[in-house]
Structure 1
Amino acid sequence: MFFDARKNHQRLIRRAVSAALASVLIPLAANPAQAASYIRVNLIGYQSTLSAEAYLMTTSSISGETFAIKNASGSTVATGNVSATSGKWGSYNVYPISFTLSTPGSYHISVSGTVSANSPPFSVNTTSNLYSQGVANALSFYQNERDGANYISSALRTAPGHLNDANATVYKTPAFDSNDNITSSLSATGATIDASGGWWDAGDYLKFVQTHSYVVALMLVGIRDFPAQMGASSNSDFTNEAKFGLDWLQKMWDDNSETLYYQVGIGTDFTNANYQSDHDIWRLPQADDTYGGSDSTYQYIRHRPVFVAGSAGSKISPNLAGRLAADFALCYYVFKNTDTSYANQCLRSAEHIFDLANTSPGTLLTVAPNDFYPETEWRDDMELGATELYFALQSGGLPSGLPHTDPSYYLQQAATWAHNYITGPNDGSDTLNLYDVSGLAHFDLYRAITLAGNPSGLAVTQSDLLSDIANQIQTSVSQSKDPFGTPWAWGSSDTVSHEAGLSIMAREYYSLTKTGSYATDARRWMANVLGANPWGLSFIVGDGSLFPYCMQHQVANIVGSTNGMSPILSGAVVEGPTNAASSGSLDGMVTCPPNGEDSYKAFNGSGAVYKDNVQSYSTDEPAIDLTATSFLMFSWQIAGAPATTP
């Protein structure tokens, strides 16, 4: 079911390893004849008093090797035996190193004997001290992705972009050929809308309801469930950022005419005209409003088209309908006490959109062209939308004019869609990410059933939901078979966001059952994202001592550094390892890495490739949907469980 969301993008990120970090990549051997050996750790660190794992990678075969853990003063604080091999990765044998440390501080692991290696330093501390900065970095990423007049000034952002979006012409969805090129002139509907604001989708400047609706849902769930980490009382308050995303979605949904607009900008070329698209040029966002002067070649850069999903009152693709209903229902829940009028409009929009869902769809509407985000599952979105509408209605204080006011109506709808998903064609084929939100929907529906007093007659039981969460997790783990314990195969696509999503699902399952190894699994899988992986780097920018330097992101490439020093696009989650690196250059692109070196090539294996290079969008492009599971993953680790049941 899962596809690489960005395989067809015609775009291109950067890298140069600093001297201070070079030792992470160069084998620390006692003499040149020894095997190449490395120790991979969670570069942010590990929670004190809890079991943890690092991994020794070596081209040799060993047995009975010992390790020592040393503190910042160089004193040995723990020793032990390296475990038996967990498998092979490329030319390396992998050996887990299990340990538990209690005293907060900085440490490193040393192996010396048949093979020799030192780990990078890592911290041991409380979860709040370890991971709160990761939540803050994620918030910073979205703030730097802001489009329109309400941008936030930073070292990377010095001017607003795409102000012309405030008066954007609406077009019908164009036709595409097999190469995703537009086959005819765009057909205007005669309407114009204010499509300004919102976040750029990725390293480009396109804006999609498809990805926005996913991100906003996860933000609002985080604000609701983890107020001390993401709410108004936290040091990383996502409330304004979530509302920024909601404001744009409200512009893209005209509730009065019941019309959905789903995209701003184009990323592919025309077969019959020389119009440049977003992916054809490399520039800062503030350049676009006047780009090329009056040259018609750049008219869709200066005046970006908006695509309409259908005529007024027409049925809505259920993936978009379900997620938008969830967004606006969560909007009501979060803002009803602080911005009642806004919240009431959100709830009306949520119910209207949910009622317009096309529940007998063909190809799902995602973006134009569909191949950019070829989603195939939608029952999970309807389950999530109905569940969040149940919580909204259950919370009371409802506005007038709602089509439905009985919370049980939406509870029954949610259970029905959960049943249809579980018994449907895609069950167990994906995990929490943009393309499948059942990992979140099942958890919230379980809690909704509890809040409702576990009524009889629903299409699913809480046991059904638990079983399906566990099935998704175990199916992914069994298919991965990774010696680092990674639950999603590195050679697939959007690997980092999937692993963060699986960490969330494991925490969800443990919070509901308090059984099994799921809490330990969640920590291990987070560590895989943060450096305990074959390449030894964190795939989240700024989280840990080594991370992608050469992202395919125009602002980060043009304005940011190429060596990991400030300014960087902190919090950005890249696509991560996949089955192939991409290439291709555009004028204005800052070469990164400057020397063209592929520092991570030696660690590719088992069908997986990672390349930190500005040209490799397939491995090194960040995106708003990829980053969305990170802030929930960190919040779960810090809090352990939601603060309250909605």
Structure 2
Amino acid sequence: MLAIICGVLASGALQAETIAVNQLGYFPTGDKHAYIMSSNIKTVALHSLETGKDVLELDVVDTTTLPDERSLGKIKFSDFSQPGWYQLTNGDFQSVPFLIASDAYRDLNQRLVHALYLQRSGVAVNDTSTGMRRPESHMADGLIFRSDSFHKQGAFLDVTGGWYDAGDFGKYVATTTITVARLLEAYRQSPTLYSSGDTMPAVLQEAVYGLDWLLKMQREDGAVYRKVSGSKWPAKIGPWQDLQTRYIYGVSSPETGKFAGVMAFASRILAPYDAQLARQYLKASIHAANYLELQPEQYIDWQAGDDSGSGPYVKNKIDIEDSLETDADDRLWAFAELYITTGQSKYLDLFKQNYDPKWIDIFEWKNPALMGVWHLILEEQGEFRDTLAKDLQVVADRYVAQAKSSPFQIANQRFIWGSNKMTAEAGILVAWSDFANADKANRTTVQAQIDYLLGANAFDMSFVTQSGTYAVRNLHHLYQIGTGVSLPGFMVGGPNELAQAGVAPKNMGMLSYVDSNKSYAVNEFAIDYNASLIGLLAVHKAYFN
């Protein structure tokens, strides 16, 4: 253990002693916790950078230890509400500056959404905020990879557009549906975060960009193709330089279910802005649902060669969850949204036929059922609604208990690929359970997930690029590695005990992380990672509405 600790500390990834705070700040009337990694300091001062004076003396409490045996204490100052710039200090020992303000996360929210614009495929990107200038890319997407009952191998279908999923150039229905849904729900939950007068706000414009690509991925019978990519992993180049042939890979009932869910949801949210587009989305959703009714069992047109240049997004040696063995969770989301949007009772009946409380967990591409459950809780009344709320609370209580027993109050304790996304989603689930019960009991836990992602962690580092005094710098992103382009507002995957790239330390829980662009298993961005943090900020804001 000591050798591992020394190696991690020597890498510069961890500091032996530090005060870790949310580097983006706190709301004046919100929860405010910080952490000190030191066994010697018992009190700290809250120091105003504007007056140059200490305004509070705070005790270090609730001491525990980290996996590397460092001491960790908590600092609580929630009762302090004066806006301004502050530091926590003890002599020369000090935290980074942080802001107390009602709009502490406004600029971050805008960066997180704008990052999706920077990931667009099929259009030229000319961005004044970052200086990014890149031409159209992948304008020949794509060719059918394997013949099916509608298209022969090598047939061309126009599937240009959409977002690059991560640090390479694959485009996936699985993560695009989840990302779009998170954008739509963030706007529904806290529209004041995105208000832009009578025009469609940027968060919805970005959602439409994703939705329009999804429409292109629907086959004539309503089924939806899974992904678009080359047959080889691309080099460290800009997307316009990736000239390999790009393929469309087979249809899938899980992707079709997610497609149906997000299209029906989008129809409701976007109707006030574009009624014709909303009708188009609903028509596509119903078409997908009709396919599912004719395909009652999970079906995935997948073969081993499909993943030679892209991620599988099916059950594999890394993604092993039980939900990947069925499409019941995907159907639940689809039927819930279609029932709410159309009012047709047959969809509620189908939801009830497929419902099992075991599918309630964080919202992600592996299991999207929660979004449908949440929307039914909002829209329905009566015994079934109350059953859903109670089932949700059981899962929320588990995450709250995990947070209370964890250093840094991290609700998600599965440190695997994409753990930061899971942490954000656990915070959202807890908030939704609070709202379902007209309660604010667990707001502290929700805030703690934001704090952890934005610097209150063992690395004293924000996991979002260019967001905080000490923010992740060495993003695994082929375009950035190849060109050095500025990419602000990109959240990375975070600690991963398996550390498949062989760079981050393994089996160290929340410490299995290193800020290296070689460590794709912990330091790659993905669109659904950003979407989860966008959603977390939206539910947090809703506590104060």
**Aligned pair in 2 of structure 1 residues 620, 373: CA closer, same or farther (>3 Å)?**
farther
Relative contact order, higher structure (CA 8 A, sep 6+)? 1
**Alignment check: 8 A CA contact 1:507 1:519 kept:** yes
**Alignment check: 8 A CA contact 2:363 2:425 kept:** yes
Q: Is 1:321 matched with 2:256?
A: yes
Q: CA deviation at 1:502?
A: 1.4
Q: Is 1:510 matched with 2:434?
A: yes
1:98 aligns with one of 76, 79, 85: 76
**Structure 1 stretch displaced more, 567-576 or 242-251:** 567-576
1:519 aligns with one of 443, 448, 464: 443
Q: CA deviation at 1:50?
A: 3.2
Equivalent position of 1:270 in the other structure: none
Q: CA deviation at 1:527?
A: 0.7
Q: Is 1:125 matched with 2:101?
A: yes
**SS of the residue aligned with 1:84?**
strand
**SS of the residue aligned with 1:97?**
strand
Equivalent position of 2:6 in the other structure: none
Equivalent position of 1:570 in the other structure: 488
**SS of the residue aligned with 1:82?**
strand
**SS of the residue aligned with 1:83?**
strand
Q: Which runs of 5+ in 1 are unaligned?
A: 1-23, 28-35, 175-186, 268-276, 290-300, 310-315, 395-405, 561-566, 585-597
Alpha-carbon distance between aligned partners in 2 of 1:108 and 1:213, rounded to the nearest angstrom:
40
**SS of the residue aligned with 2:459?**
coil
Q: CA deviation at 1:25?
A: 7.3
Q: Is 1:618 matched with 2:518?
A: no
Amino acid at match of 1:40: A
- After superposition, the C-alpha distances for 1:334-388 in whole angstroms (9 at most, x for unaligned) are 3334433322221111012112224422679699437455364233322221222
**Aligned pair in 2 of structure 1 residues 235, 80: CA closer, same or farther (>3 Å)?**
farther
Q: CA deviation at 1:606?
A: 4.3
Identity of counterpart residues, as a percentage? Answer: 23
**Aligned pair in 2 of structure 1 residues 491, 392: CA closer, same or farther (>3 Å)?**
closer
**SS of the residue aligned with 1:463?**
helix
**Aligned pair in 2 of structure 1 residues 515, 607: CA closer, same or farther (>3 Å)?**
closer
**Aligned pair in 2 of structure 1 residues 261, 440: CA closer, same or farther (>3 Å)?**
closer
Equivalent position of 1:242 in the other structure: 207
Equivalent position of 2:366 in the other structure: 435
**Alignment check: 8 A CA contact 1:132 1:638 kept:** no
Equivalent position of 1:223 in the other structure: 187
**Alignment check: 8 A CA contact 2:13 2:514 kept:** no
1:109 aligns with one of 77, 81, 88: 88
Q: Is 1:197 matched with 2:128?
A: no
Alpha-carbon distance between aligned partners in 2 of 1:365 and 1:634, rounded to the nearest angstrom:
36
**Aligned pair in 2 of structure 1 residues 68, 324: CA closer, same or farther (>3 Å)?**
same
Amino acid at match of 1:260: V
Alpha-carbon distance between aligned partners in 2 of 1:337 and 1:446, rounded to the nearest angstrom:
23
**Alignment check: 8 A CA contact 1:541 1:568 kept:** no
1:5-20 aligned at under 5 Å gives the runs: none
1:49 aligns with one of 21, 29, 40: 29
Alpha-carbon distance between aligned partners in 1 of 2:299 and 2:451, rounded to the nearest angstrom:
39
**Aligned pair in 2 of structure 1 residues 214, 92: CA closer, same or farther (>3 Å)?**
same
1:470-485 aligned at under 5 Å gives the runs: 470-476=393-399, 478=401, 481-485=405-409
Give the aligned length. Answer: 513
**Aligned pair in 2 of structure 1 residues 205, 390: CA closer, same or farther (>3 Å)?**
same
Q: Which runs of 5+ in 2 are unaligned?
A: 1-11
**Alignment check: 8 A CA contact 2:145 2:250 kept:** yes
Equivalent position of 2:240 in the other structure: 286
- After superposition, the C-alpha distances for 1:494-530 in whole angstroms (9 at most, x for unaligned) are 1111111112112212222234631111111111111
2:62 aligns with one of 84, 88, 91: 84
Equivalent position of 1:146 in the other structure: 120
Q: CA deviation at 1:160?
A: 1.4
- After superposition, the C-alpha distances for 1:266-324 in whole angstroms (9 at most, x for unaligned) are 35xxxxxxxxx134x221111123xxxxxxxxxxx1x2111232xxxxxx51x212211
Q: CA deviation at 1:188?
A: 5.2
**Alignment check: 8 A CA contact 2:87 2:97 kept:** yes
Alpha-carbon distance between aligned partners in 2 of 1:173 and 1:641, rounded to the nearest angstrom:
53
Q: CA deviation at 1:583?
A: 4.4
Alpha-carbon distance between aligned partners in 2 of 1:639 and 1:607, rounded to the nearest angstrom:
28
**Alignment check: 8 A CA contact 2:124 2:137 kept:** no
1:462 aligns with one of 372, 385, 390: 385
1:487-636 aligned at under 5 Å gives the runs: 487-489=411-413, 491-515=415-439, 517-560=441-484, 568-583=486-501, 605-606=508-509, 608-636=511-539
- After superposition, the C-alpha distances for 1:385-419 in whole angstroms (9 at most, x for unaligned) are 1222123224xxxxxxxxxxx2x2223333333x3
Alpha-carbon distance between aligned partners in 2 of 1:120 and 1:604, rounded to the nearest angstrom:
29
**Aligned pair in 2 of structure 1 residues 355, 188: CA closer, same or farther (>3 Å)?**
closer
**Aligned pair in 2 of structure 1 residues 173, 133: CA closer, same or farther (>3 Å)?**
farther
Q: Is 1:416 matched with 2:353?
A: yes
Q: Is 1:265 matched with 2:229?
A: yes
**Aligned pair in 2 of structure 1 residues 266, 202: CA closer, same or farther (>3 Å)?**
same
**Alignment check: 8 A CA contact 1:134 1:631 kept:** no
Alpha-carbon distance between aligned partners in 1 of 2:137 and 2:159, rounded to the nearest angstrom:
12
Q: CA deviation at 1:532?
A: 0.8
- After superposition, the C-alpha distances for 1:603-632 in whole angstroms (9 at most, x for unaligned) are 994473111111100110001111111111
Equivalent position of 1:184 in the other structure: none
**Structure 1 stretch displaced more, 149-158 or 135-144:** 149-158
Q: CA deviation at 1:331?
A: 2.6
Q: Is 1:169 matched with 2:143?
A: yes
**Aligned pair in 2 of structure 1 residues 477, 578: CA closer, same or farther (>3 Å)?**
farther
* TM-score under structure 1 length normalisation: 0.73
Q: CA deviation at 1:490?
A: 6.2
**Alignment check: 8 A CA contact 1:107 1:121 kept:** yes
- After superposition, the C-alpha distances for 1:28-67 in whole angstroms (9 at most, x for unaligned) are xxxxxxxx42111111111113332111112x367xx112
| RMSD across aligned positions (CA) | 3.1
* Higher Rg: 1
Equivalent position of 2:4 in the other structure: none
Q: Which protein is richer in helix relative to its size?
A: 2
Equivalent position of 1:342 in the other structure: 277
* TM-score under structure 2 length normalisation: 0.86
**Alignment check: 8 A CA contact 2:45 2:54 kept:** yes
**Aligned pair in 2 of structure 1 residues 161, 506: CA closer, same or farther (>3 Å)?**
same
Amino acid at match of 1:464: T
Alpha-carbon distance between aligned partners in 2 of 1:639 and 1:362, rounded to the nearest angstrom:
38
Amino acid at match of 2:165: D
**Alignment check: 8 A CA contact 2:264 2:337 kept:** yes
Alpha-carbon distance between aligned partners in 2 of 1:381 and 1:25, rounded to the nearest angstrom:
39
- After superposition, the C-alpha distances for 1:438-460 in whole angstroms (9 at most, x for unaligned) are 3332211111213xxx3x6xxxx
Q: Is 1:206 matched with 2:170?
A: yes
- After superposition, the C-alpha distances for 1:98-130 in whole angstroms (9 at most, x for unaligned) are 113211111111235xxx73111111111xx11
Amino acid at match of 1:324: F
Equivalent position of 1:306 in the other structure: 248
- After superposition, the C-alpha distances for 1:552-606 in whole angstroms (9 at most, x for unaligned) are 102222333xxxxxx632221111011144548xxxxxxxxxxxxx9x98x9944
Alpha-carbon distance between aligned partners in 1 of 2:75 and 2:127, rounded to the nearest angstrom:
44
**SS of the residue aligned with 1:130?**
coil
Alpha-carbon distance between aligned partners in 1 of 2:378 and 2:229, rounded to the nearest angstrom:
39
- After superposition, the C-alpha distances for 1:448-494 in whole angstroms (9 at most, x for unaligned) are 213xxx3x6xxxx2332223322323334555742211111263331
